[in-house]
């Protein structure tokens, strides 16, 4: 997968060159290319923004440098990139969306700033708009990093496919609790079943815990998953009794 990122602040993307995303790039499975929008700016100051027509606060990223930058970045590789604009007005990001996007060989992530980008670029060159939540950040850089990280870990071979399959949201529900050594920590023991070596019972316990965890913290997710009769009883009982939520 190739990710081109068009931004005014390429220096903030260091996290994409550490840990799992870094390994994904050294192994050749992923290529992340950063491009500074200012390279397509006007004049000595490489200006890319101007005041909004009609007045109002802030500045708008202008259509001309943006269009030139998008077209120049597209031309760097024969595979056409899907142009994705990170904006609080976009579709809220979900694991299902990340899974769909990860099937694309190339994406161009466009980071907005100030009051946003000229509407005509949204209409003509942007194919998808993504929000990472109902809050406003100072720019699209952190959202682009969130999206890039979520995409990179889905590229085959980047992480163990079994871990991806079991994670929260891939299964449609939240994850089960995890424990490691020591078996007793400050008087708190690991659940007996996990020490039993009985894989069938362990899997059953994990599924139950994942369902209870979801019923307690994100009951909205349960409406979207298929449960068998026993599982329905388990979460139904939990909802009727009102399992106490975490502190
Ligand atoms: N830019 C600023 N805030 C954002 C958000 N919540 N999601 C995506 N892009 C943004």
3-state secondary structure 144-195: HHHHHHHHHCCCCCCCCHHHHHHCCCCCCCCCCCCCCCCCEECCEECCHHHH
90 in a structural domain: yes
**pLDDT score of 246 more than 80:** no
Report the predicted TM-score, pTM, of the whole model to 2 decimal places: 0.92
> How many angstroms is it from 246 CA to the middle of ligand 1?
29
- pLDDT at position 50, please? 97
Ligand 1 center–CA 81 separation, angstroms: 21
pLDDT-derived band at 170, boundaries 50, 70, 90: confident
Residue 138, token pair as written in the block: 């100072």
**Strand, coil or helix: what is 50?**
strand
Antiparallel, parallel or unpaired: β 188-189 and 106-111: unpaired
- The response to whether residue 88 sits with its C-beta less than 6 Å from ligand 1 reads yes
Pocket test for ligand 1, best of 137, 141, 147 (most atoms within 8 A of CB): 137
In this prediction, residue 244 has a pLDDT band, given cuts at 50, 70 and 90, of low
Domains of the chain: total: 2
Cross-strand pairs, 185: 188
Nearest CA residue ID for atom 10, ligand 1: 87
Within a domain: residue 173? no
- Three-class SS of 184-225: EECCEECCHHHHCCCHHHHHHHHHHHHHHHHHHHCHHHHCCC
How many angstroms does the Cα of residue 79 sit away from the middle of ligand 1? Answer: 27
Structural domain boundaries, residue 234: 184-241
pLDDT on residue 181: 96
Tell me whether residue 50 is in a domain.
yes
Residue 230: its H or E element: helix 229-241
Q: Please report the pLDDT score of residue 161 as a whole number.
A: 84
pLDDT tens digits along 8-46: 999 999 999 999 999 999 999 999 999 999 999 999 999
**Is the distance from the beta carbon of residue 101 to the nearest atom of ligand 1 less than 6 Å?**
no
Burial class (CB in 10 A: 0-12, 13-18, 19+), 53: exposed
Read off the DSSP letter of residue 137.
-
CATH number reported for the structural domain that contains residue 78 in this entry: 3.40.1280.10
Q: Quick one: pLDDT at residue 26?
A: 97
Q: Give the tens place of pLDDT for each residue, 119-157.
A: 999 999 999 999 999 999 999 999 999 999 999 999 999
Shared domain for 101 and 212, answered yes or no, is no
Is 191 contained in some domain?
yes
Say yes or no: 123 and 191 in one domain: no
């Amino acid at each position: 997968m190739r990710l081109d990122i068009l931004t005014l602040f390429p220096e903030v993307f260091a996290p994409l060159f550490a840990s799992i995303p870094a390994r994904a790039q050294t192994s050749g499975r992923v290529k992340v290319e950063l491009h500074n929008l200012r390279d397509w700016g006007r004049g000595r100051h490489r200006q890319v923004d101007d005041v909004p027509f009609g007045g109002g606060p802030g500045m708008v990223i202008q259509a001309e440098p943006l269009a030139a930058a998008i077209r120049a970045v597209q031309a760097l590789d024969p595979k056409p990139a899907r142009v994705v604009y990170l904006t609080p007005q976009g579709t809220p990001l979900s694991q299902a969306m990340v899974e769909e996007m990860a099937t694309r060989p190339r994406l161009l992530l466009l980071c907005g700033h100030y009051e946003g980008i000229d509407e005509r670029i949204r209409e003509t060159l942007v194919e998808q708009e993504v929000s990472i939540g109902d809050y406003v950040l100072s720019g699209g850089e952190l959202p682009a990093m969130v999206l890039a990280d979520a995409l990179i870990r889905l590229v085959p071979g980047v992480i163990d496919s079994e871990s991806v399959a079991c994670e929260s949201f891939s299964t449609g529900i939240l994850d089960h609790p995890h424990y490691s050594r020591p078996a007793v920590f400050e008087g708190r023991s690991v659940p007996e079943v996990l020490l039993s070596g009985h894989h069938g019972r362990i899997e059953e316990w994990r599924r139950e815990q994942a369902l209870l965890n979801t019923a307690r913290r994100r009951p909205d997710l349960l409406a979207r998953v298929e449960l068998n009769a026993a599982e329905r009883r388990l979460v139904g009982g939990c909802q009727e009794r009102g399992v106490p939520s975490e502190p």
